[in-house]
Structures are given as C-alpha cells and as structure tokens.
C-alpha cells in the first residue's frame, strides 16, 4: 500500500498556502509533516482526508481496497476531538465504532489500551484535555483503518501517554498501516520528514 | 444500518440529556400558546377560530428554534468531519440526523398539542385534527429546515440566517397544515389539503437530505 501525492496545491481564503508538494508513504512507514505555524500542515492532512478541496495535483492510495475511497480508509485525528460531553466515555467510543464501520474491536479493550478503563461510565464533559485525547486515540484502535492522519497527536498527552501512543503507532506500522502526522514535537517513532513552507 | 441506528440513538440521547434541545422546543411552544389568550382577550369564539393557526405557528417557531443545533454542534466539535469521511453515504447520515431531530424535538410538539388545545378552547375533534396535521407536517419542517441548517454551518452564520432561509420554505407547509385543520373543524373536504401536506413531507424527505449533504460537502473547510 502506498500513499502518493503529486504536485499538491492548497489555496485557503484566496492565499496560496503551498503548491507543487510531492510526498510518498508506504506501508509500515510514518511521514512527519514539519513546518512553521500557518505553513499548511493541517491543510495538508485535511486535503488527504478529503475535507478540503484541492487546488491542484493528485493524492491517491495505491493498493488499498478498490471499492473504498481514500477518506473511507483513513482515520483523522484533528484538533477537535469529536466527543459529546453529554455521553459517557464508553458511549462516545461505541458510537464511533458503530458509525465508522469496518473491522471493529471491543470498545472496553480499546479504552484499556489507552489507560481509560477506570473512567468508562464517566460523562466526557468531566475528562481532562489529556484524557480527551486518549479517548480520541481509542477511536483509532476501535476500528481498523490502514491510514492514520494525525494532527498534533501528542498535544496535551503526558509523558506516559506519549510513550503509550508511540507504542500504538509502532504496532499500527507493524501491521502494515501508514501514518501521516503533523507535528512540532518528536513522535517517538522513526519517521520520514516532509517539510512544507520555506520560511521557518 | 448499525451506523445509522447508532447515529439516531446518539442524537436522541444527547437531546434528552441535560443541556439537550428536546425540552426547549416544547417549552417554547407552551409559552407561545399560553400567552396568546392573554393577548387576544377572553373571547372564546375568537380563540376557537384562531386556535389551529396559533398551534401551527407555535409549532413552526418551536421547531425552528432548535433546528440550528442540527449540524452546528457536530461541526464545532469536529464530529462532522468524521461523519463526512465515514463509509455511510452523507445523504443517509443527514436523513438519520433529521429523523432523530424530529423524534426528539418534533414529536413532543405533536404530543403536547392536545393539552395546549384545551387552553385555546378547542374541542376534541379540532384538537385531534390539528395534532394529525402537525404529525404529517412537522417532518417537512425538519427536513426542509435541515437544508438551512447545513447552509448556516458552512457559511459560519448562526440562527438568524437559518430563520431567513427556512421560513419561506415552510410557508407552504403552514398554509396547507392550517387549511387541513380548518377543513376538518368546519366539516369541509379534509382530504385535499391533507394530501398536499403529506406530499410536501414526502417531497422534503427526498430533497432535504440530498440538498443538505451537497451543502455540507461543498462548504467544507
């Protein structure tokens, strides 16, 4: 499986953010997108996720399931964590597990894997920022998707959480998945760098 | 089906819990109808004559009140991104959200109507006629209103724009809803306006999800 971007351009609000960007990531490989604030890291991830219209170039996943589009085979972990404060931790995760579809795993096991098994019945409104992030990460585990698009994934995570997430990312790469992560901090796994934006 | 069932269950659960929108609509409906007799005076015949129109106006405004939450909450917390990316077609997801919204916010209005009919001096036949027309007509309000809700989200303008966009679309529903109620009360032909009301609902079931999904897809950022 190979994620291939050729000559990708992005225009936001009439301003060109980046243009002519080429990138490539194969199965088992992580791509770390690095650049200054406003250089278009999030925009690139949203382009890959199909959440932004591309201004030029092409992005394709080779060797994936042929009936599914690239966004349908990808997990997107953004700044906003897609959690409902009124629902409990388990309800939040169960909903995404049911809605996203595909090969799914037991929600409680996934919560255990991110260290949230003590808070299963707690409404998400009472979670701390780091716990919310852990719950979002549990969504990546609950449903299998080969492509992980991560936007500042380690934000708000404590050191233990960062190590735990690095382990989860290694497992995902070991199963033949691929990761594109926009980040300022080291990911804790071996990753190819993709620099965008000339100025830093 | 699991995906859509999950979406409907989630939206209803959120609406029913503390801070959800389900009760706001009914409460607003209640306030509008309760205030009317105070404004119109103690003329019982006048109240009876205006009753169906008052109930329909109250229900229309109440359903509009909670409609802006339909996509806005999901947009603000990032859920909408994942719904758009998901394997469920966006049109079906929109239809499921609208159905959940109607079950949580529209159906309670229909259920409250018999009680509120008492306040307007409506007899049992009139009240059940209004409740029946609301049952047939409020889904149309939700499904056409969904288009406005989707546009308001993508244009980053909240409630006011929604009202301006949605109210003209709901005028036919209001006309035929009140006409069908009046026809039943006055013993005129109930079938024709009621059939058109049902047709408006069916029409909105088809147009609403497709238009809303197109708005959401087009306005992504």
B221 interaction partners in chain A (CB closer than 8 Å)? 12, 52
Mean pLDDT to the nearest integer, B38-62: 88
Please tell me which residue of chain B has the smallest CA distance to A100: B86
β-pair partners for A181: A32, A150
Q: pLDDT tens-digit profile of B106-126?
A: 999 999 999 898 888 888 888
B220 interaction partners in chain A (CB closer than 8 Å)? 51-53
Which CATH architecture best describes the domain A2-195?
3-Layer(aba) Sandwich (3.40)
Decide if B13 and A99 are in contact by the 8 Å CB cutoff. Answer: no
Domain boundaries, chain A: 2-195
Q: How many domains does chain B have?
A: 1
Decide if A102 and B83 are in contact by the 8 Å CB cutoff. Answer: no
Q: What is the pLDDT of residue B157?
A: 66
Q: What is the pLDDT of residue A20?
A: 87
Mean pLDDT to the nearest integer, A107-128: 89
Which of the four pLDDT bands, split at 50, 70 and 90, describes residue B91? very high
Model ipTM value: 0.90
Supply A120's token pair.
């299963």
In this structure, are residues B86 and B205 in contact, taking their beta carbons and an 8 Å threshold? Answer: no
β-pair partners for A172: none
Q: What is the residue-averaged pLDDT of chain B?
A: 88
* Full strand arrangement of the beta sheet holding A56-62: A15-26, A2-12, A56-62
**A86 has pLDDT over 50:** yes
A13, A76, A86: best to mutate for the B interface, most B CBs within 10 A: A86
Q: How far is B129 from chain A (nearest CA, A)?
A: 37
Comparison of pLDDT for A200 and B192, the residue scoring more: B192
Q: Which of A92, A52, A91 is nearest to A70 (CA)?
A: A52
Q: What is the pLDDT of residue B56?
A: 92
Decide if B221 and A52 are in contact by the 8 Å CB cutoff. Answer: yes
Q: What is the pLDDT of residue B188?
A: 83
Q: What is the pLDDT of residue A200?
A: 42
Comparing CB atoms, the residue among A49, A79, A87 nearest residue B13 is A87
In this structure, are residues A168 and A30 in contact, taking their beta carbons and an 8 Å threshold? Answer: no
Which of the four pLDDT bands, split at 50, 70 and 90, describes residue B159? low
In this structure, are residues A52 and B221 in contact, taking their beta carbons and an 8 Å threshold? Answer: yes
Q: pLDDT tens-digit profile of A153-164?
A: 888 888 888 999
Which residues on chain B place their C-beta less than 8 Å from a C-beta of chain A?
2-3, 5-7, 9-10, 13-14, 17-20, 76-79, 81-88, 220-221
DSSP secondary-structure letter at B121?
Answer: T
Which of the four pLDDT bands, split at 50, 70 and 90, describes residue B57? very high
Supply A164's token pair.
């735990």
β-pair partners for A59: A5
Could you say which residues from 41 to 80 on chain A have a Cβ atom under 8 Å away from some Cβ of chain B? Answer: 46, 49-53, 68, 71-72, 74, 76, 78-80
Comparing CB atoms, the residue among A83, A86, A100 nearest residue B19 is A86
Domain that residue B196 falls in: 2-218
Q: pLDDT tens-digit profile of B205-221?
A: 999 999 999 999 887 76
**A197 has pLDDT over 90:** no
Distances (CA, A) of B131 to B22, B83, B117, B196: 18, 34, 9, 16
Residue A133 Cα to chain centre, angstroms: 12
Q: Which of A75, A73, A76 is nearest to A61 (CA)?
A: A73
How are beta strands A2-12 and A15-26 bridged, if at all? antiparallel
Decide if A50 and B87 are in contact by the 8 Å CB cutoff. Answer: no
**A199 has pLDDT over 60:** no
Q: What is the pLDDT of residue A106?
A: 87
- What is the rounded CA–CA span in Å between residue A33 and residue B163? 42
| Sign of the alpha-carbon dihedral angle for B155, B159, B161, B166 | positive
Number of H helices and E strands in chain A, helices first, is: 5, 8
Q: What is the residue-averaged pLDDT of chain A?
A: 88
B5, B82, B216, B218: best to mutate for the A interface, most A CBs within 10 A: B82
**A143 has pLDDT over 60:** yes
Supply B203's token pair.
């029409």
Q: Which of B151, B174, B170, B137 is nearest to B68 (CA)?
A: B151
B90 interaction partners in chain A (CB closer than 8 Å)? none
Is A15 within 8 Å of chain B by CB? no
Q: What is the pLDDT of residue B123?
A: 87
- What is the rounded CA–CA span in Å between residue A47 and residue B221? 10
In this structure, are residues A139 and A145 in contact, taking their beta carbons and an 8 Å threshold? Answer: no
Comparing CB atoms, the residue among B10, B78, B86 nearest residue A78 is B78
Which residue is it, tokens 């007509």? Answer: B137
A42 interaction partners in chain B (CB closer than 8 Å)? none
DSSP secondary-structure letter at A13?
Answer: T
Which of the four pLDDT bands, split at 50, 70 and 90, describes residue B152? confident
Decide if B86 and A87 are in contact by the 8 Å CB cutoff. Answer: no
Q: What is the pLDDT of residue B156?
A: 72
Q: What is the pLDDT of residue B90?
A: 92
Whole-model pTM? 0.90
Supply B72's token pair.
């806005």
- What is the rounded CA–CA span in Å between residue B156 and residue B219? 10
DSSP secondary-structure letter at A104?
Answer: B
Decide if B2 and A79 are in contact by the 8 Å CB cutoff. Answer: no
Comparing CB atoms, the residue among B3, B77, B86 nearest residue A83 is B77
A79 interaction partners in chain B (CB closer than 8 Å)? 78
* Crossing angle between the packed helical segments B159-186 and B191-218, to the nearest 10 degrees: 170
Is A11 within 8 Å of chain B by CB? no
Q: pLDDT tens-digit profile of A10-48?
A: 888 888 888 888 898 988 889 999 888 888 888 899 999
Q: How far is B91 from chain A (nearest CA, A)?
A: 14
Mean pLDDT to the nearest integer, A95-114: 88
Mean pLDDT to the nearest integer, B5-31: 86
Distances (CA, A) of A153 to A161, A163, B172: 11, 12, 49
Is A174 within 8 Å of chain B by CB? no
């Amino acid at each position: 499986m190979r994620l291939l971007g050729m000559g990708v351009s992005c225009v936001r609000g009439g301003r060109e953010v980046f243009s002519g960007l080429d990138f490539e990531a194969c199965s088992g490989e992580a791509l770390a997108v690095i650049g200054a604030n406003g250089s278009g890291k999030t925009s690139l991830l949203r382009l890959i996720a199909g959440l932004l219209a591309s201004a030029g170039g092409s992005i394709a996943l080779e060797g994936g399931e042929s009936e599914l589009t690239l966004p349908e085979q990808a997990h997107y972990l953004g700044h906003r964590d897609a959690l409902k404060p009124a629902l409990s931790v388990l309800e939040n995760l169960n909903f995404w597990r049911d809605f996203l579809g595909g090969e799914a795993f037991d929600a409680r096991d996934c919560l255990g894997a991110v260290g949230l098994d003590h808070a299963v019945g707690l409404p998400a409104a009472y979670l701390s920022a780091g716990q919310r992030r852990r719950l979002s990460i549990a969504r990546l585990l609950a449903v299998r998707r080969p492509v992980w698009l991560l936007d500042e994934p380690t934000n708000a995570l404590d050191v233990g959480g960062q190590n735990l997430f690095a382990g989860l990312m290694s497992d995902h790469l070991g199963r033949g998945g691929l990761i594109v992560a926009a980040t300022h901090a080291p990911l804790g796994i071996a990753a190819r760098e993709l620099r965008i934006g000339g100025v830093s | 089906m699991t995906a859509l069932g999950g979406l409907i269950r989630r939206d209803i659960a959120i609406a029913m819990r503390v801070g959800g929108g389900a009760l706001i609509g009914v409460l607003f409906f209640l306030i509008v109808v309760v205030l009317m007799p105070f404004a119109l005076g103690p003329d019982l015949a006048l109240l009876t004559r205006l009753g169906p129109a008052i109930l329909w106006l109250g229900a229309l405004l109440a359903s509009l009140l909670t409609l802006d939450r339909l996509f806005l909450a999901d947009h603000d917390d990032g859920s909408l991104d994942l719904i758009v990316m998901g394997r469920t077609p966006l049109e079906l997801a929109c239809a499921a959200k609208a159905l959940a919204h109607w079950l949580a916010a529209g159906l309670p209005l229909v259920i409250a109507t018999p009680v509120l009919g008492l306040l307007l001096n409506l007899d049992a036949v009139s009240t059940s006629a209004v409740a029946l027309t609301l049952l047939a007509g409020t889904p149309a309000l939700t499904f056409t209103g969904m288009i406005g809700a989707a546009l308001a989200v993508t244009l980053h303008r909240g409630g006011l724009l929604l009202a301006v966009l949605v109210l003209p679309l709901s005028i036919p529903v209001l006309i035929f809803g009140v006409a069908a109620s009046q026809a039943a009360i006055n013993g005129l032909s109930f079938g024709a306006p009621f059939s058109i009301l049902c047709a408006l609902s069916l029409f909105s079931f088809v147009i609403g999800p497709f238009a809303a999904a197109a708005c959401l897809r087009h306005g992504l950022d």
